[in-house]
């Protein structure tokens, strides 16, 4: 960084779906076809974050992600920065708006974190920007960005005007629970394989109805602070979602992941626990804090990495000289 450079840096947490999103309007606008829900998470005793810096300088453009220069594309943060660039240049009398972002200790859900950290920086620089229009601009980078923007447990509603996310429980309410991620050693498939195939199924209109209905249920559970009920609902949603995803020809749950899930189903007859699988190579097993070690020992296997996670909050400004 040169000494004249002005900057703002923010961090945001990655996410896990609770009522899973499947189906987007089109590759450019990426408008979800139904409401969904999620949580933000961090690895226990670590900071799982996307760390993003916007700097204003009179030197040339620099756009980097994890230390490498990034290209312009419809889902790239460059397209988002360009939407705000003229206003930033006028307000801060600068030639260039630079961007640098790094992922730190993230298992999945990183694009929500990256988009939310960038949004936090822009909101800091342009505080009059409407949060609703900000969320809808950021959605182009990541359709479930609202989960990371608000943290804790969130619901994202969809209307003709766009998406709007609200937090329905803060992260502290999840203090009695731990999420153990079992990461399998295969490459994940792009989520767009799900989004663009699931909506072709004849069962899809019913899925849209069910997902929206589950959000009403979730709201009631949140009001009662029924954390177990929330993760039971997530468990059932994982089952409904992946049976449809598989019908659409997209296999996310490999036989090895399914085997572990069956073991969870056996264990949960005696000790409460539940699972979530989103679009990647993780099985997330939710337990009460006191049962976490016993249950992960029962599920432990070779070549599967185990990581303990907890629910996390909203993005933060970490430093700035503006």
> HSE-up of 151 (CA within 13 Å, CB side)?
20
Q: Select 125 or 141, whichever has its Cβ closest to ligand MEV.
A: 141
CA 8 to chain centre: 22
Q: Select from 16-24, 47-55, 77-85, 157-165 the region that touches ligand MEV (CB under 6 A).
A: 16-24
DSSP string, 169-207: E-GGGGTTEEEEEEE-SSPPPPHHHHHHHHTTSTTHHHH
Residues whose CB is less than 8 angstroms from the CB of residue 53 and which lie 6 or more positions away in sequence, other chains included:
7, 8, 9, 99, 100, 101, 121
- The nearest distance, CB 145 to ligand MEV, in angstroms, is 10
Q: Does 279 bind ligand MEV (CB under 6 A)?
A: yes
Q: Does residue 154 interact with ligand MEV by CB under 6 A?
A: no
* Helical ranges in the chain per DSSP H: 77-92, 110-125, 131-138, 145-150, 191-198, 204-223, 227-247, 255-267, 292-299
Q: What are phi and psi of 243, to 5 degrees?
A: -70, -35
Residue count, binding to ligand MEV (CB under 6 A):
10
Cα separation, 92 vs 276, whole angstroms: 45
In Å, how far are 23, 197, 280 from 191, measured between CA atoms?
Answer: 10, 10, 8
Q: Rounded to whole angstroms, how far apart are CA atoms 65 and 123? A: 20
Q: Pick from 42, 98, 125, 143: which binds ligand MEV (CB under 6 A)?
A: 143
Cβ 39 to ligand MEV, closest distance in Å?
10
Q: Single out the residue of 144, 154, 183, 238 in contact with ligand MEV (rule: CB under 6 A).
A: 144
| Pattern 18-37, ligand MEV, x by CB under 6 A | --xx--------------x-
From candidates 43, 125, 140, 194, binder to ligand MEV by CB under 6 A: 194
C-beta closer to ligand MEV: residue 94 or 219: 219
- Is 17 an interacting residue with respect to ligand MEV (CB under 6 A)? yes
Question: Given candidates 98, 163, 191, 287, which one binds ligand MEV under the rule CB under 6 A?
Answer: 191
Does 278 bind ligand MEV (CB under 6 A)? Our answer is yes
Using an 8 Å Cβ cutoff, are 260 and 254 in contact? no
Segment contacting ligand MEV (CB under 6 A): 13-21, 65-73, 150-158, 282-290? 13-21
Binding span for ligand MEV by CB under 6 A among 15-23, 67-75, 231-239, 267-275: 15-23
Binding interface with ligand MEV (CB under 6 A): 17, 20-21, 36, 143-144, 191, 194, 278-279
């Amino acid at each position: 960084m040169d000494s004249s450079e002005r900057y703002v840096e923010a961090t945001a947490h990655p996410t896990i779906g609770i009522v899973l999103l499947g189906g987007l309007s089109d590759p450019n606008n990426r408008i979800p076809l139904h409401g969904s829900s999620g949580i933000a998470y961090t690895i226990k005793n670590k900071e799982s974050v996307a760390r993003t810096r916007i700097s204003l300088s009179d030197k040339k453009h620099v756009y980097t992600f994890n230390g490498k220069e990034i290209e312009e594309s419809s889902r790239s943060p460059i397209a988002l920065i360009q939407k705000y660039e003229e206003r930033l240049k006028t307000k801060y009398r600068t030639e260039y708006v630079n961007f640098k972002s790094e992922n730190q200790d993230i298992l999945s859900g990183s694009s929500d974190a990256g988009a939310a950290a960038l949004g936090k920086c822009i909101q800091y620089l342009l505080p009059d920007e409407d949060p609703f229009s900000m969320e809808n601009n950021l959605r182009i980078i990541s359709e479930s960005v609202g989960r990371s923007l608000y943290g804790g447990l969130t619901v994202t509603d969809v209307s003709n005007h766009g998406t709007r996310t609200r937090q329905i429980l803060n992260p502290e309410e999840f203090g009695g629970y731990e999420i153990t991620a079992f990461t399998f050693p295969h490459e994940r498939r792009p989520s767009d394989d799900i989004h663009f195939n699931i909506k072709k199924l004849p069962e899809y209109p019913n899925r849209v109805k069910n997902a929206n209905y589950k959000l009403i249920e979730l709201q009631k559970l949140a009001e009662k602070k029924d954390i177990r009920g929330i993760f039971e609902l997530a468990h059932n949603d994982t089952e409904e979602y992946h049976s449809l995803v598989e019908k659409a020809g997209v296999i996310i749950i490999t036989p090895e992941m399914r085997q572990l899930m069956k073991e969870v189903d056996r264990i949960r007859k005696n000790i409460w626990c539940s699972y979530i699988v989103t679009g990647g190579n993780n099985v997330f097993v939710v337990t009460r804090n006191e049962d976490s070690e016993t249950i992960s020992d029962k599920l432990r296997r070779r070549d599967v990495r185990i990581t303990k996670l907890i629910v996390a909050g909203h993005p933060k400004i970490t430093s700035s000289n503006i």
